[in-house]
């Protein structure tokens, strides 16, 4: 008996009829699908009148007919790869090659294409999204895919370009690294310095601060693209910087990034002291001091405890002179400080060094771990966390013990970032318990062995 007969007899007559109807329907669906997929080859298919509701935030919606013809929804076929990816949580990026022209003073980028025309994308080239005032000031670029009407080139370049912004939160040291420097490193390293940076929202203070890093990533002078009247033409261009949606101050190759920084600033130490091999040497600890807020109020006692345990102690603030700060941090084996942007400088610690983060009141354990704890491990550092108690916080002198500041920090968080920051970040200083500190520093010495 044939296999087909066995298959047929396994159904009763009613089931066979249903199977026949189903097979007919399946054939229709497959035929319609093939016609849709291979639409460019079969010609226009007017079986269905599809209308797509375009949501502004989804930015695939930014595909728009730029002609004076009646507006019709544009659907990119499978063979046309979108030049922009706007579906990531943290960053939008566009990658294009061929004939790419940018008109800086109008924030417009033209891409010559034969199979797609009159398509518009808009993008803010900054690796963080948001709707607040800081993000509103970032230059928005229009990217037009066009088969004609390209502006004439005033300057032609033979290397790729990367367009990025140093607006947004870049004035904050943590965000400068997490939102710009690290994503720029990831995006540009493959070009081996043969790439031109087009900087939006250019800030001379920011540029001077990170000049060593920028020089190591590109051998060309940075173009202040917002103030360019000429049309610059490139063989390819990346607009925006990719940022991992899951991580802050962290990438999969964080150890390589640390090596890159040591090379950029000519730092001597690649690894921290090994106490088992350096019996006659003292480990060096950097205690990060702060003046305005989250300051150590008993700094003299902290220094005394550290010295009694055998540390060489350095107390210093973190300033904008990264050449000096990078060398100072790199010369130390242990770095200790209260949660804040200054701790970003752990990127300069030698591998196998110890990082001690002092976490103030306010249920900021998630921030402490996400912003600095996990990233430090990716850098090859040993991580210790010192979470202070109520009696170690200056808030104990400002609020009664039954206040929601102590009893329910989440209620303060629910009021918004400004309310939370005004209490736990701006009004809080720290007085560490000497006994607890001694235990933590002793553990740090053990981790150096």
Beta strands 284-288 and 161-165 are unpaired
Q: What's residue 75's pLDDT?
A: 38
Per-residue pLDDT at 426 exceeds 70:
yes
Residue in this structure with the two tokens 């701006």, named with its chain if needed: 426
**Measuring CA to CA, how many Å separate 351 from each of 75, 250, 262, 376, 445?**
50, 15, 11, 10, 15
Per-residue pLDDT at 189 exceeds 50:
yes
What confidence tier does 48 reach under pLDDT thresholds 50, 70, 90?
very low
pLDDT, one tens digit per residue, over 212-230 is 999 999 999 999 999 999 9
Reduced DSSP (H G I as helix, E B as strand, rest coil) percent helix, strand, coil of the chain, to 5:
40, 20, 40
Output the pTM of the full model. 0.79
Per-residue pLDDT at 82 exceeds 80:
no
Per-residue pLDDT averaged across 385-400, rounded?
Answer: 96
Per-residue pLDDT at 160 exceeds 70:
yes
Structure token pair of residue 9? 């007899």
Per-residue pLDDT at 18 exceeds 50:
no
Per-residue pLDDT at 26 exceeds 80:
no
Domain 254-447 architecture:
3-Layer(aba) Sandwich (3.40)
What residue segments make up the domains of the chain, in order of their start?
Answer: 3-39, 56-239, 254-447
Exposure letters 267-292 (e unless 16+ CB within 10 A, then b)? bebeebbebeeeeeeebbbbbbbbee
Structure token pair of residue 68? 């004076």
């Amino acid at each position: 008996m044939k296999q087909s007969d066995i298959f047929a007899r396994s159904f009763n007559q009613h089931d066979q009829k249903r199977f026949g109807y189903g097979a007919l329907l399946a054939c229709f669906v497959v035929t319609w699908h093939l016609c849709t997929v291979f639409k460019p080859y079969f010609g226009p298919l007017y079986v269905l009148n599809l209308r797509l509701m375009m949501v502004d935030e989804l930015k695939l919606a930014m595909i728009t007919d730029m002609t004076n013809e009646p507006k019709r929804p544009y659907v990119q076929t499978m063979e046309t790869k979108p030049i922009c990816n706007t579906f990531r949580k943290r960053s939008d990026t566009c990658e294009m090659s061929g004939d790419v022209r940018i008109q800086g003073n109008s924030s417009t980028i033209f891409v010559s294409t034969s199979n797609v025309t009159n398509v518009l994308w808009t993008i803010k080239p900054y690796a963080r999204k948001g709707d607040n005032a800081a993000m509103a000031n970032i230059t928005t670029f229009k990217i037009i895919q066009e088969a004609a009407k390209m502006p004439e080139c005033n300057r032609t370049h033979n290397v790729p370009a990367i367009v990025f912004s140093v607006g947004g939160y870049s004035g904050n040291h943590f965000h400068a690294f997490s939102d710009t420097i690290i994503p720029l490193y990831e995006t540009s390293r493959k070009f081996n310095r043969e790439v031109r940076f087009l900087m939006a929202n250019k800030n001379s203070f920011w540029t001077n601060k990170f000049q060593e890093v920028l020089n190591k990533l590109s051998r060309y002078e940075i173009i202040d693209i917002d103030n360019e009247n000429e049309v610059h033409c490139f063989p390819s261009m990346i607009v925006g910087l990719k940022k991992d949606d899951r991580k802050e101050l962290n990438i999969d190759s964080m150890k390589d990034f640390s090596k890159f920084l040591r090379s950029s600033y000519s730092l001597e130490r690649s690894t921290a002291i090994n106490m088992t091999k350096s019996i006659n040497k003292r480990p060096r600890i950097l205690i990060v001091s702060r003046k305005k807020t989250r300051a150590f109020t008993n700094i003299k006692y902290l220094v005394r405890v550290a010295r009694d345990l055998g540390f060489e102690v350095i107390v210093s603030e973190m300033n904008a002179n990264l050449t000096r700060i990078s060398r100072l941090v790199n010369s130390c084996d242990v770095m200790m400080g209260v949660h804040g942007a200054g701790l970003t400088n752990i990127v300069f610690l030698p591998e196998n060094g110890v990082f001690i983060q002092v976490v103030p009141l306010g249920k900021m354990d998630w921030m402490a771990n996400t912003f600095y704890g996990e990233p430090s491990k990716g850098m090859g550092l040993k991580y210790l966390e010192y979470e202070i108690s109520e009696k170690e916080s200056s808030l104990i002198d400002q609020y009664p013990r039954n206040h929601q500041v102590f009893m329910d920090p989440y209620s303060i968080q629910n009021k918004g970032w400004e309310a939370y920051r005004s209490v736990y970040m701006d009004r809080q200083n720290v007085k560490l318990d000497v006994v607890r500190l001694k235990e933590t520093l002793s553990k740090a010495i053990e981790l150096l062995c």
